[in-house]
Structures are given as structure tokens and as C-alpha cells.
Amino acid sequence: MNREQRERAIIDWVRRIPAGKVASYGQIAELAGLGRGARQVGRVLSTLGGHSDVPWHRVLNSRGEIRLALDSDAGRRQRRRLRAEGVVVNRGRVRMADYAWQVSLDERLWGDFFRAE
């Protein structure tokens, strides 16, 4: 896979995170076929621009924390977007046990099929 394909895979999977749910960078990397490329996910999201229609705000680190500075515009935007979807954010953190996105096998296979086009 070249860079373009990897970026597309990442964006595709992030778009599939349902409103009110969250995923980790590592989880998206795994789903997108990047193995341990969690950092690559963060890098791609950083190029989106805060007003993107891509639900980048639903991606948190493995501890359920918002990794953008809480006092930054982007950080506040992320927190606001999450809360607007009913996600409880405390001190920039979310209870993964309550909001972690569980991807069904069907959904995973469909994603693979979609990317194979």
C-alpha cells in the first residue's frame, strides 16, 4: 500500500466510528491494516483541519484521553464535539469501557472488501 491508500484506509475507518462512540489511534491503525502504525493515524488526522467533516474527534489515545492540548482551540473543539454526541468527558478523559467502539466482524470484512476495490 502506498501513502495515498493508507491515508484513505485511515479516513475510511474513522468515518465509520458511530456518533457517541470513540476509538483509539491504535485501533484505527489495526483496522486500516497499518499494524502498529498508531502514530501514522495521528499524523493523518493532524492534516485534516479542525473543521473537517471527518469525525476525527472520536479518536483518542489508548487510555481514552484527548491528546490535543485542552486549552487549545482544537482541544476545546474536540471536547465540545464529543459532549455534543453525549460522550461524558472528564478532565479530558473518557471512560473507554462505556464508549469504546466495538467493530463487528461483518463491519470489518466489509471494510476490507471496500478497500480491495
Interaction site with DNA (CB under 7 A) = 3, 6, 24-27, 35-43, 45-46, 48, 50, 56-57, 59, 61-63, 67-68, 74, 78
- Interhelix angle 38-46/3-15, rounded to 10 degrees, is 80
Taking the complex as a whole, the smallest distance from the CB of residue 55 to DNA amounts, in Å, to 10
Nearest residue (CB) to DNA, 62 versus 83: 62
Q: Which residue, 45 or 89, is less far from DNA as judged by CB?
A: 45
Nearest to 60 by CA among 34, 107, 28: 28
What distance in Å separates the CA atoms of residue 63 and residue 111, rounded to the nearest whole number?
Answer: 25
Three-state SS for 60? strand
Q: In angstroms, give the least distance from the CB of 114 to DNA.
A: 21
